[in-house]
Structure 1
């Protein structure tokens, strides 16, 4: 699955070396002036931003709590000195700063509106997915910046895949309570498994994003020990990766 995804024109491609190594999505890379990346094992988020943007930018992040709260990022000097706010989605329409979310199996989601220049970085684990955090982010972009769902581009980064995300009945029940149609994202077997990226793709489409404007990296964090960090594979002893997005100017 992973090797095919790396060859897919719509999936992730590996760029850079050393601390600037990152995965890029062609769908977002096609937007003029937009920089983005999903860091890999050993990458430094600041170096990735510098390489992708061409200069250093302040990085705004969140204290992630596995919910659906959306926060708006600003570029003021005061904002840079404050602790990150609690939340799982960060939005802005300002140039001159980068948005980032931290992951190590959860789905990092980057959203761009080329029309209004609004951006979002979203952290969607199974709890955030059942809380409909991506749907909340799409709604917040519309309320704050006038973004229309049909104009948005949504990229789902590397995450634990359906091959490896075994879950208990409670998780399945909560997913189906939030979206009964997500039964298509639940796989059978000795233990049930969830296709978390597909569940978030469903959420994007339900919010009004056009199918051709949603792309997934197609890389499983558990399977790709050569490239990616995984909380489950490393039993909490590994590092984290970042999903990053910014305007170059």
Structure 2
């Protein structure tokens, strides 16, 4: 069932635009009337600011002629296609709609598909009904030999990307400024690092708002919005977004060594290259940062409960040892914001592995087993030879800021899958070796 309809009235340079709009609205009214759609959105020519207002007035007057459109129509009076579609997205997100029909021309379909790919995810379903032909409009788009299919040129695709990027850059930050948490155990002279919180981005859906740093086909935040959030984070943190690498999570224990072929998925990254930024996501799972100030090597890992018990933390340590000659006793590990044993529970069958690792990793409350994946991480790291004082988590607090806050317990600071459900946002821990520091050697 179609939940919302966009009627595409955009066709540049048409010498009979008023007549064309009336004909297009008439066709749209017939289609919409038969489907009884509740939400209809009209997009019209807005490229020329001097005519945009007159076009809107024209459309408002023409709507009076069509009974099926009078009560259900919204006019997208935005300055460009990107902003119109973004405004439309905000409206259907608020109503929790996802099935959309676009009534358009063959030429319009090709262009709009590019914008939809940039501004929406697979959560949304788009159906295109081609009922117009721009080639019949005097002075408008040139005729095509095949009106049922047109192709987007590289120049047109680049224009769409630039328009979307430019539009997103001018949006205001939501929920305050970007805030970054840092550890005193990592030298600011030699390394760039931090754990993000949820403020300072442009994501507007409540569970993703506002500095969501991960786009999923199962959630409503598109890659272009996440890219803008990462751009803003890079400016605030001082790193090069073009050298940024985020873990491709598999909830396992594979580690990518930068410089080698990148696997399809992995939960850890290590490198000794300066200026390269590596990052691990987390929305209850632990983002782990690893530094070796002696061998000048770093690593990050994403540690969910499966990855924790599979040993992703020590897999990352071992990769630094084997690849860069790190001594385990030189490696510093920072445990980032993650779900605490106060809020994280597993079925007993899954909790058994944690209980076997250390009895304190599981607390029984009634019929539920609450699991401490942070303690499990510490136990595994210490057994692997990492010095206890080189691990920063909530169990060591003397003179140190607690960075290992429970993500589920702090909705003002962090995203949480446990708390927010499937349309959750994601924060991250990031790390880089600074270029040209004085290492004291």
Q: TM-score, normalised by structure 2?
A: 0.48
Deviations 1:167-190 (A, max 9, x none): 1112211334xxx34222111211
Deviations 1:52-86 (A, max 9, x none): 33655511123210000011124x9xx8xx8x731
After TM superposition, give the deviation of residue 38 of structure 1 in Å. 1.1
Which residue in the other structure is 2:12 paired with? none
| Aligned positions of 1:84-99 closer than 5 A | 85-99=264-278
Matched, 1:68 2:269: no
After TM superposition, give the deviation of residue 248 of structure 1 in Å. 2.2
Query: Highest CA radius of gyration, 1 or 2?
Result: 2
After TM superposition, give the deviation of residue 47 of structure 1 in Å. 3.2
Which residue in the other structure is 1:59 paired with? 244
Which residue in the other structure is 2:383 paired with? 206
Q: State the distance in 1 between where 2:370 and 2:351 align.
A: 8
The 3 A distance-change label for structure 1 pair 212 and 188 is same
Paired residues, number: 223
Q: Is this contact kept in 1: 2:354–2:371, CA < 8 A? A: no
| Aligned positions of 1:59-138 closer than 5 A | 59-74=244-259, 85-138=264-317
Which residue in the other structure is 2:417 paired with? 231
Deviations 1:192-223 (A, max 9, x none): 11111111111111111111110022300100
The 3 A distance-change label for structure 1 pair 129 and 48 is same
Q: Specify the SS of the correspondent of 1:20.
A: coil
For structure 1, the 5+ residue unaligned runs are 1-16
RMSD: 2.1
After TM superposition, give the deviation of residue 48 of structure 1 in Å. 3.1
For structure 2, the 5+ residue unaligned runs are 1-174, 199-209, 212-228, 394-402, 436-441
Please identify which structure carries the higher helix content. 2
Q: Is this contact kept in 2: 1:159–1:219, CA < 8 A? A: yes
Which residue in the other structure is 2:327 paired with? 148
Q: Is this contact kept in 1: 2:354–2:362, CA < 8 A? A: no
Q: Is this contact kept in 2: 1:49–1:98, CA < 8 A? A: no
Q: Is this contact kept in 2: 1:54–1:248, CA < 8 A? A: no
